[in-house]
Amino acid sequence: MIRFPAFSSFPARALRLLPAVFLSLTVFGGCASDRPKAVAATPSAADSETPAEQPQGSALESENRENLPKQELTQNILYEFLLAEIAGQRGNVTLAAQAYVDLAKQTRDPRIARRATEIALYARMNNAAIEAAKIWYESEPGSQRPLQALAGLLVASGRYDEAVPYLKKLLAGAPNGPGNGFMQLTRTLANAQDKSAALKLVRNLAADYPDLPQAHLAVAQAAAGAGDEQLALKEAEKALQLQPDWEIAVLFEAQLLQKGSPAQAAALLQDFVQKHPAAREARLGYARTLVAQKRFADARVEFERLMADAPDNTDLAFAVALLSLQLKDYDAAEKHLKQLLDTSYRDKDGVRLYLGQVAEERNNLPEALHWYGEVGEGEQYIQAQIRYAGVLLKQGKLDAARDHLHQAAARNSRQRVQLILAEAQLLRDANQPKAAFDLVGHALDRLPNDPDLLYDYAMLADKIDRVDVLEASLRKLIELRPEHAHAYNALGYSLADRNERLPEARELIEKALKLAPDDAFIIDSMGWVLYRQGKPKDALGYLRRAFSDQPDPEIAAHLGEVLWVLGRHDEAERVWQDAAQKNPTNETLVNTIKRLKR
């Protein structure tokens, strides 16, 4: 009898990758992540010298070595083994794998079958790996590891029906219970190609565990992956009913609700955190849902509660700072941001950028320039230079602002375009739309197919009544980027605003709305084209929704006009008044009020 030598002649890279690859295909965990050890044919004195090397999860840990097959070293076995070794040494893992699979078939030895499974898997020979894993499982029926390997390989290969009996055995014998097994299975199936087949598999397995919350959540997650949101929501609700304090379940249900009803998602999470105030992940989810609903004051309260329990969490402090800035609580925003500069927070330049915005909002322009100037050449650099130039313009220094942008170091064409567009905006703000139009036009000579330049060129053409250029630029943009929602919207709105080709305008805006159904400005365009078509009642719903999502002065002008035409003058006056207080110089708003009230 002999002891086979260590598999050290296999390429080093293969030895490093084998355990990781093998582990990634197990279903319920428990497979060792250690470097593969020697494949032994029989016990020997050497075994007693290395007990510490044997991993806790070893395939042989619970096996009585005396029950292992006694392999006689025949010429054929020796040949197959040497063939595998030499092939591995020369980097031919396909031949090595096939030789080991053949050896496993001959010997029915679980140690050799395990090695055959690992090498075949590394060689991407899935069928051979499954064949070897079956031998491993049959020759070591009392061990979870070959069962895990076989089930994982079958699932990874999409052979779900074959996997079912093995998965059922795994669930029934899972050391931490079937609940943990279902959670592991969900992770394994996350990348399944056939989502419907994966859902069928999970429902089959879950049917045996009607009172297990993890089983229902696994079905919910598989259903969501397969696009069956109704089933997903039903199963998530059932999981939460069975385990009312389960954060994972409530977060998943909220995620499903968020798509159709953000208010319902917020209400669900609010109720949960009220009942379970220590549930940090649920509270964080609730805070984020409030931000998505633009309920910034409520969101800040939740983030502050989280921060009270984790005062050293810089991400929470940054979130509170940004919400304070959004709420115009500049003292609080500045306090939190300056404190972050003294911590290990990873994005100090982001902090400096927002400190510049705080100073700018307070009209402390020299301090704003200081903070923007402190931003280094990283992710925030271009935005800081653009804002620096904007502050110079506020100081009446247009030429200095343009020079600053010219001197900014752009690392690529994308950043150069950003700087050009920023300069065009300076000119636009300085009431020089023709100069801005010419600037972007020259940039387009160098980059004729840049979508951002084309879009801005069209908007500037509108400012100087070059309708021909506007339409040509937007049609070219649509040709280049057929999914560019704002190109369709801008062209459709331009036609509607001029009261021209209204059926075509509506078709363009409807296309934009399909591409971006939640965009407030596109919703406003839809209302405006309906109004132009003589349908003010139909238009009103769109305009209300748009104004609710985005209280922009031009949307206010449109909403007020439709209300006025419908005879609801008091309501129109309120909309206009509120908008005019915040935007007293907006041209569209001012002209609309004058035109209708004269």
pLDDT score at 67: 59
Q: Which amino acid is at 558?
A: H
Question: pLDDT by residue (tens digit) across 524-553?
Answer: 999 999 999 999 999 999 999 999 989 999
Q: What sections of 314-432 are H helices per DSSP?
A: 314-326, 330-341, 348-361, 365-373, 381-394, 398-407, 413-429
The closest alpha carbon to 93, from 28, 200, 174, 18, belongs to: 18
pLDDT score at 89: 81
pLDDT score at 323: 97
pLDDT score at 568: 96
> What's the rounded Cα separation, in Å, for the pair 588 and 594?
10
Percent of the chain with pLDDT over 70: 88
CATH topology match: 1-49+56-157 vs 496-598: yes
In the chain, domain spans: 1-49+56-157, 496-598
> What's the rounded Cα separation, in Å, for the pair 447 and 567?
50
- Domain 1-49+56-157, CATH: 1.25.40
Question: pLDDT by residue (tens digit) across 434-461?
Answer: 999 999 999 999 999 999 999 999 999 9
pLDDT score at 427: 98
Question: What superfamily would CATH give domain 496-598?
Answer: Tetratricopeptide repeat domain (1.25.40.10)
> What's the rounded Cα separation, in Å, for the pair 359 and 389?
15
pLDDT score at 281: 96
pLDDT score at 451: 97
pLDDT score at 444: 97
pLDDT score at 1: 34
pLDDT score at 55: 35
CB 419 within 8 A of CB 452: no
DSSP 41: S
Q: What is the pTM of this model?
A: 0.74
> What's the rounded Cα separation, in Å, for the pair 367 and 97?
68
Q: What is the mean pLDDT of each run of 10 residues along the chain (598 residues)?
A: 38 41 46 34 31 36 54 72 80 85 87 89 89 90 86 88 90 85 86 90 95 96 94 96 96 93 94 96 96 94 95 95 96 97 95 98 97 95 97 97 95 95 97 97 96 97 95 97 97 96 97 96 97 97 95 96 96 95 92 89
pLDDT score at 66: 56
Question: pLDDT by residue (tens digit) across 184-216?
Answer: 888 888 888 899 999 999 999 999 999 999 999
CB 443 within 8 A of CB 418: no
Structure-token match 């407030």, residue found: 520
